[in-house]
Amino acid sequence: MDYQLADNASLKTIAFRINDNYKMVDFYKNIVGLTLKSEENGLSIFGSSKEKTQVLILEEAETFTHSNVHFSVHIYSEEEWLAIVQRFSEHGYPIEKSMEDEKQKSIFITDPEMNEIEFYFLKEAADASEEQQEILAFQEEEETGNVVQVSLNTVDAQLSKTFYEEVLGLKDIGEKMLSLGSQNVVFQLLENEPLEGRADLGWNFFVVDLDGKEEIEKLMYHLEQKKQDFFIDNKRSILTVFDINGIEWWFTKSKV
């Protein structure tokens, strides 16, 4: 059987490049409502109110143009979703589109640098399976929401899909679509031309949490078989690899 990341692999952090740190920090801190954990070396690190969380990292890069990014955030409760909507209203920040059906409510926002974000919550959690209800209950205790879909700008979508599936171990779920872990984080592959002759497609890196040293080592042995370059620390708690689009993937050992 081909290598695949374990079901309990989880997307912990997304990171992308920005041009105006002041505007973007103000947006994600004061309107979206994330907690600014630290600012260092051109990086603005955001988490939830919980200690030691890092859900979003912005890297200021003023000297070049980069592609915009797109992602969706699942908010676990209607109260928190309404609080986000209220903050946009209070700050006079435009909601580009809103949608509602029998299953969910969504709003679509573009941040100050035209990155697109969807915030949604599910209305029919009671109809979820017993396993899904357990996952939702645990998530609500841990966080207010999580990123569930990421659109990846690629130079070649088909080559990228092959790499993500055969090298990184993501699961093929359809044309130009892959998923990660039991949270079913979906990566949708888009095709973009590199800007200004360089393969900078917006995303900087992702952090994926794996369940312990054994899972890190399984990935290491798989990458060695694939003759894929990577870095791993001496404690075998962090493994990093660049994909064919110049995005760095950090695989870290979850802390028990």
Contact between 67 and 201 under an 8 Å Cβ cutoff? The reply is yes
Please give the Cα distance from 173 to 56 (Å, whole number): 25
Query: Quick count: other Cβ atoms within 10 Å of Cβ 249?
Result: 18
Who wins on pLDDT, 144 or 178?
Answer: 178
User: Which of 136, 143, 72, 144 has its CA nearest to residue 107?
Assistant: 72
Who wins on pLDDT, 212 or 14?
Answer: 14
The fraction of the chain above a pLDDT of 70, given in percent, is: 85
Per-residue model confidence as pLDDT tens digits over 108-128: 999 999 999 999 999 875 455
Please give the Cα distance from 148 to 140 (Å, whole number): 15
* Range in 19-33, 194-208, 236-250 the model is least confident about: 194-208
Region 178-201 average pLDDT: 74
| pLDDT for position 41 | 87
Who wins on pLDDT, 52 or 92?
Answer: 92
Name the band, by pLDDT with cuts 50, 70 and 90, for residue 160: very high
Q: Tell me the CATH number of domain 10-253, given options 3.40.50.300, 3.10.180.10, 3.40.50.1580, 1.10.10.10.
A: 3.10.180.10
- Domain chopping of the chain, boundaries: 10-253
Per-residue model confidence as pLDDT tens digits over 191-228: 875 555 444 678 999 999 999 899 999 999 999 999 99
User: Which of 232, 255, 243, 102 has its CA nearest to residue 167?
Assistant: 243
Who wins on pLDDT, 182 or 228?
Answer: 228
Please give the Cα distance from 45 to 2 (Å, whole number): 35
Statement: residue 178 has pLDDT above 80 = yes
Per-residue model confidence as pLDDT tens digits over 31-77: 999 999 999 888 999 998 776 788 999 998 765 566 789 999 999 88
Name the band, by pLDDT with cuts 50, 70 and 90, for residue 136: very low
| pLDDT for position 61 | 79
Region 12-19 average pLDDT: 93
